[in-house]
Chain A
Amino acid sequence: MSDMADLTATELLGLFAAGSASPVDAVQACIRRIGAVDDQLNAVLVLLADDALASARESERRWRDGTARPLEGVPYGLKDIIATAGVPTTGGSALYRANVPDTDAALAARLAEAGGVRLAKLHTFEFASGGADNRTFGPCRNPWDTSRTTGGSSSGSGAAVAAGEVPLAIGTDTGGSIRIPAAYCGITGLKPTFGRVPRHGVMGLSWTLDHAGPMVRSVADAALMLGVIAGRDPRDPTSSARPVPDYVPALAASARGMVLGRPRGWFEDKLQPEVAEAFERSVGELVAGGMTVVDVELPDVELWDVAGWSVMYPEALSLHGGHMHDIESRDAMHAGMLTTAPFVQASDYLLGLRYRRIAQEQLETAMQGVAALVTPAAISVAPPLGAISSTGDSADWLLDATRPSMPFNYTGNPALCLPAGLVDGLPVSVQLVGRPHDESTLFTLGAAYQATTDHHTVRPGLLAGV
């Protein structure tokens, strides 16, 4: 058996069910991995080793008793903007360093109730604001090249899953914060449909755009994890009342003959040339897997993007306005975001909200006859840490980096990020975008892609020596 820290949750559950390994073995493997690599990565803010081992022993008993639950004994980590009862939840900020919630976030409680083993709280940029640095906790480093950013703001979730510190993590995504670190770190990330996963207990950045979802090493694990965390919670009135389907059967459905729409334009105009070449190869792989890719038109997506930012800035200011009077004590991107916000006109915020419905109708029209859209997940490979402005100027990096992702925070459609190979030793990824509440189709397409490629199984060189 390979190191258990490198196995997916699905693989671990298979071993547990067969009695070939135990949850305690899995947790210990992850703890060893964290000990071996986290000094280089800084993905883990709080390690819950004792609690995790106690939970793992309880999971062992359940496997023996035949009462195992869907994630029984599988270790996971949570981005540290997600409330955990009795455990610090810092938001990546000095302001919340001593914050210890007395209630689990809805999704955290669901993971625990499903038998998952909470092992770590994971690095994030301050209040999930994007960027590269964190002056309180230091930068999180990319396992593929520790001089480069993980992307963010689910920085620790991206690095920890890529490095085998945990097989499952939760990230959040307001403009790309699941998909960008998933792309930069070479893992699978899902931004579900808006409202599919309740946000109770998750620190907010923009209530119109915030999503929470899985960051994992396979599409199968994304389906498994979404099935656990999705569903209505009355404490989040924006959470969906739709029933949660069993996503796992979608993994075995055939994708042959399914049609993907390629919108080009906005999504491909600013690609790093090597990333553009890699994306062409990915499209070829999808076609070789029996799918058809056709061009579709989304001529006004630039307007969706600016409308999205016109919504995000004021909502971030509304939530975090208390930080404005000591703004230079905040991290660069959070400060930059907040100081951009006061200059957005109220009418443009409302325009952003009203135009959302028009963007959705444009997307609905463009998706007629196609199962999903395919775009690059990021416009470049992970940049060096020092290349991202320390002034908090979001005009250059943040707006470009979120170009493929922000439009679907705005429309609310689900988007799945899949590893698609390496460029100069760094991961590149594709993004599949589905109809709202049709994550199952994304899982069918993504599972088919991962069945015919091995990009998602390639691990960072950092792990060679552990």
Chain B
Amino acid sequence: MTERFASDTAELYDQIAAQQGLAFAPERIAAAVATHEGMRDALLRLRQAPLSFIEPVLEPASALSWIENGGVTA
């Protein structure tokens, strides 16, 4: 993560927090930026996962059904 990116993101996070009526210490914002930056590559990949919009969207029900069914896809 570049210093510029971190600084810009921290400013953005500050603004998002302020919009929600929240104010965090700079070290909290820095920690949040670092956490999200650490997850960013995987999250971008996750967003590419093909999820159907044709089949019924029932979450969390279908995940719970799989568990209740012993981990077997019906």
Contact = CB atoms under 8 A, between A and B. Distances in A.
Interface of B is mostly: helix
Nearest to A307: B46
Contacts of A123: none
A371 to B, nearest CB: 12
A435 interface: yes
A215 to B, nearest CB: 22
Interface string A333-365: 001100110110000101111111110110110
A443 interface: no
B49 interface: yes
B49 A393 contact: no
A194 B47 CA distance: 25
Contacts of B17: 342
B71 A364 contact: yes
A303 B45 contact: yes
B51 interface: yes
Contacts of B54: none
Most buried by B among A302, A328, A340: A340
B38 A399 contact: yes
Contacts of A310: 39, 43, 46
A351 B42 CA distance: 13
Interface in A107-157: none
A394 to B, nearest CB: 6
B59 interface: yes
Contacts of A208: 60
Contacts of A238: 64
B11 to A, nearest CB: 13
B31 A394 contact: yes
A240 interface: yes
A351 B47 contact: yes
A242 to B, nearest CB: 7
Nearest to A348: B43
Interface string A9-37: 00000000000000000000000000000
A298 interface: no
A343 B32 contact: yes
Interface in B1-51: 13, 16-17, 20, 22, 24-25, 27-32, 34-39, 42-43, 45-47, 49, 51
Nearest to B24: A339
B39 A355 contact: no
Interface string B50-65: 0100000101101110
B67 A364 contact: no
Given A363-B71, A364-B72, A437-B70, A340 B36 contact: yes
25 contacts: A195-B67, A305-B42, A306-B42, A306-B43, A306-B46, A310-B43, A310-B46, A335-B28, A339-B28, A342-B16, A342-B17, A354-B59, A355-B51, A358-B49, A367-B71, A391-B28, A392-B28, A393-B34, A394-B31, A395-B31, A395-B37, A399-B35, A436-B67, A437-B68, A437-B70
Q: Which 6 A-B pairs have the closest CB atoms?
A: A393-B31, A306-B42, A435-B71, A436-B71, A395-B35, A356-B63
Given A242-B68, A436-B70, 5 more contacts: A340-B31, A354-B51, A364-B72, A364-B73, A438-B71
Interface of B: 13, 16-17, 20, 22, 24-25, 27-32, 34-39, 42-43, 45-47, 49, 51, 57, 59-60, 62-64, 66-73
